[in-house]
Amino acid sequence: MNDREIFGKLAELAKQGIPVCLATIVETAGSTPREIGAKMLVGADGWTFGSVGGGCGEHQVKSAALRCLLVSGKPKLLEVDLTDDLGTRGGDVCGGKMWIFIEKIDGP
Amino acid sequence: MSIAEHLTDLIDKGKTVCLVTVIQSDRPEFPPGAKVLFLPDGSIGGTVPLGELTEPLAQLAHAALACKKKQLTDLAPGLRVFIDMLAPEARLLICGAGHIAVPLALFAREVGFSVTVLDDRPDFANTSRFPGCEVLVEDFAPALRRLPLGSDTYAAVITRGHEHDFECLLEILPKETAYVGLIGSRRRVEFVKLELRKRGIPSARLDLLYTPIGLPIGAESPAEIALCIAAELVATRRLGKEAARGVQGERRVGP
């Protein structure tokens, strides 16, 4: 999924008045599953489009995005820690950390 | 028009856009999530008036556009922004629509290239063989003379014969590109290079050719060869021209 497809989908949803969350990796340290600038959209029903790396890290992003979308409405900078040794807590073993900016995009 | 629509429109027009988003801020006039767009020609769009930050932000965006770097940075005390760079898809131009071209187009689309296929044979160059690609049924040289190439164009020259390879490279090599790969045995490749030299293509341009094409993974079948070419395209796009050659280097040692 490239940026053109992400913003194309965002534009399409904005036109229909459907609010979604945009999650963007803005900073990384160490090994991470995706690069700075990778993006994912999250809809109110849990629908996602694009990816910020998959696995449990992405699940954290999805949860935070749903909170932003349905509860707070406020942008959030989320830290995702992937330094879990051997994945004992849930498989996040890339070894690095990433910071993801989550924001609600409301439409036109 | 929403900012997403505006961005999509600009990317489709082939523009590279710098998108600045406020991430953390203690200034109420620049709330987190506020966005500003910068184009290479210096024009500005977005959701907030910038006031005294117009100049520093424009400088930052200008520098970012020059080096195409995405980064989190402090614009002013208490104002952290993310500089994103949105560029049109890199384009792969496949010269020759034979058996390798089909899986190559498929793999290249999958890893984010927009693909153009060129061949003079309608039986080979057609949209049923190349779904999702731009297909041109034309003679190689005139088509290549007309097509705009540039720093985001990757060319794979895999025609059915060295005379067509020669014809393609004569048009492609003088122009700026991100990558030019040429398929063929060492003998065929040397012959084509020799002919190009005779026609006045400087050695410096010939040295830019990636040949033998593709990363050395022992590929034999058309699909395997397509995969090793796609891998080389990714290496060039992600690591840069020089580093991608380093990945190739090991194969070049030897007889």
d(CA B173, CA B175): 5
Q: Calculate how close chain A gets to B108, using CA atoms only, in Å.
A: 13
Give residue-wise pLDDT tens across range B145-200: 999 898 889 999 999 999 999 999 999 999 999 999 999 988 889 999 999 999 99
> Which helix (H) or strand (E) is A99 found in, with range?
strand A97-105
What's the rounded mean pLDDT across residues B136-144? 97
Q: Are residues B76 and B160 in the same domain?
A: no
Q: Are residues B100 and B20 in the same domain?
A: no
Q: Are B85 and B16 spatial neighbours (Cβ–Cβ below 8 Å)?
A: yes
Give residue-wise pLDDT tens across range B17-60: 999 999 999 988 889 999 989 888 877 777 667 777 888 888 88
For residue B250, how many other CB atoms are within 10 A of its CB? 10
* pLDDT reading at B250 higher than 60: no
**Which of A9, A21, A28, A36 is best to mutate for the B interface (most B CBs within 10 A)?**
A36
| pLDDT the model gives residue A88 | 55
Structure token digits, residue B116: 């153009």
Q: Are residues B65 and B190 in the same domain?
A: no
> Which helix (H) or strand (E) is B226 found in, with range?
helix B222-239
Q: Are B8 and A7 spatial neighbours (Cβ–Cβ below 8 Å)?
A: yes
Q: Are B136 and B72 spatial neighbours (Cβ–Cβ below 8 Å)?
A: no
Give residue-wise pLDDT tens across range B70-96: 999 998 899 999 999 998 889 999 999
**How many structural domains are present in chain B?**
2
Strands (E), chain B: 17-25, 35-38, 44-46, 71-76, 79-86, 90-95, 113-119, 134-137, 153-157, 179-182
Q: Calculate how close chain B gets to A85, using CA atoms only, in Å.
A: 28
Q: Are B196 and B204 spatial neighbours (Cβ–Cβ below 8 Å)?
A: no
Q: Is B13 left (phi over 0), alpha (psi -120 to 50) or beta?
A: alpha
* pLDDT reading at B111 higher than 50: yes
| pLDDT the model gives residue B136 | 97
* pLDDT reading at B254 higher than 60: no
Residue that terminates a domain, selected from B26, B54, B86: B86
CB contact under 8 A, B11 and A101: no
CB contact under 8 A, A108 and B2: yes
Q: Is B85 on the interface with A (CB under 8 A)?
A: yes
Q: Are residues B174 and B67 in the same domain?
A: no
Q: Are residues B38 and B148 in the same domain?
A: no
CB contact under 8 A, A15 and B5: yes
Q: Which positions 50-89 of A are in contact with B (Cβ < 8 Å)?
A: 74-75, 77
CB contact under 8 A, A101 and B84: no
Among residues of chain A, what percentage have pLDDT more than 90?
A: 62
Q: Are residues B96 and B193 in the same domain?
A: yes
CATH number at residue B198: 3.40.50.720
Is residue B252 very low, low, confident or very high in pLDDT (cuts 50, 70, 90)? very low
Q: What is the mean pLDDT of chain B?
A: 89
Q: Are residues B167 and B64 in the same domain?
A: no
d(CA B86, CA B45): 14
Give residue-wise pLDDT tens across range A61-104: 999 999 999 999 999 999 998 876 555 555 555 678 899 999 99
What's the rounded mean pLDDT across residues B206-212? 90
Give residue-wise pLDDT tens across range A11-63: 999 899 999 999 999 999 988 888 999 999 999 999 999 999 877 788 899 99
Q: Are A31 and B28 spatial neighbours (Cβ–Cβ below 8 Å)?
A: no
**Which of B1, B6, B7, B80 is best to mutate for the A interface (most A CBs within 10 A)?**
B7
Closest CA to B210 of B171, B159, B169, B162: B169
Q: Are residues B227 and B143 in the same domain?
A: yes
Q: Are residues B94 and B74 in the same domain?
A: no
d(CA A45, CA A39): 18
Query: What ipTM score was computed for the predicted complex, to two decimals?
Result: 0.89
Strands B134-137 and B113-119: parallel
3-state secondary structure B165-203: HHHHHHHHCCCCCCEEEECCCHHHHHHHHHHHHHCCCCH
Q: In chain B, what residues touch A7 (CB-CB under 8 Å)?
A: 4, 7-8, 11, 86
CB contact under 8 A, A75 and B84: no
Closest partner residue to B89 (CB to CB) among A2, A14, A103 is: A2
Residue that terminates a domain, selected from B37, B53, B86: B86
Closest CA to B177 of B201, B202, B149, B148: B149
Q: Are residues B19 and B124 in the same domain?
A: no
Task: Locate the chain B residue with the closest alpha carbon to A105.
Answer: B33
CB contact under 8 A, A14 and B7: no
Q: Is A2 on the interface with B (CB under 8 A)?
A: yes
Q: Which domain holds residue B198?
A: 90-252
| pLDDT the model gives residue B248 | 65
| pLDDT the model gives residue B220 | 93
